[in-house]
Amino acid sequence: MNPRSTLRPSLVAVAMLGAALLAASAFAAEEREAANAATACLRRSEIKGTKILDARNVLVTMRDRSIYRSELAKQCPGLRRGSAMSLTYNDNKLCAGSMFTVLMRAGASSNSTSVTVPGSNEHISVPAPALVPGATCQLGVFTPISADEVDALTAATEEGQRSRRRGDRDAVKTEAVEKVPPASR
């Protein structure tokens, strides 16, 4: 038997195994990179808080101080900076596609909150705002975002809100006119 003929199939098998391992390794690296780029779900126990930037952008801050941006597919009516929202969790996870309800402030409620008066130990009871359900919308995929990106996005959404406010661009311009006396006949 020729040693070359038995060696060839072994080399081919080793080459094929090496190629398969290389492909699997590249696939696993791509999966890890994709997982870092966008996350479908976040665990409820790891979420520290949320911040609404505008009608399409919600930031989720995690306990490890990482921040995720959920960009909604379309604007959510009534959702604006400082709004409250009620999130829906599935299996203790907040996922892309999860529904949330915008909570609208509707005056004072019968509920009250105890507040400490600054500079003293006196506690007073203050009426809490009443919240009523508004629009129900859907969260987008969670994308990791750096602190610099948060600052830039916050500034951009503030600028967008400022430009939509009524200002000099909508003001009615008036000019003084001189009244001409009627011509005498």
Residue reference for tokens 């009443």:
130
Confidence check: pLDDT of 28 > 70: no
Give the residue extent of every domain in the chain: 41-114+133-163
pLDDT over 80 (residue 161)? no
- 43-70: burial string, b at 16+ Cβ within 10 Å, e else: eeeebeebebbbbbbbbbebeeeebbbb
User: What global pTM score does this model have?
Assistant: 0.59
C-alpha closest to that of 54 among 83, 28, 26: 83
- What tens digit of pLDDT does each residue of 30-81 get? 554 544 557 899 999 999 999 999 999 999 999 999 999 999 999 999 999 9
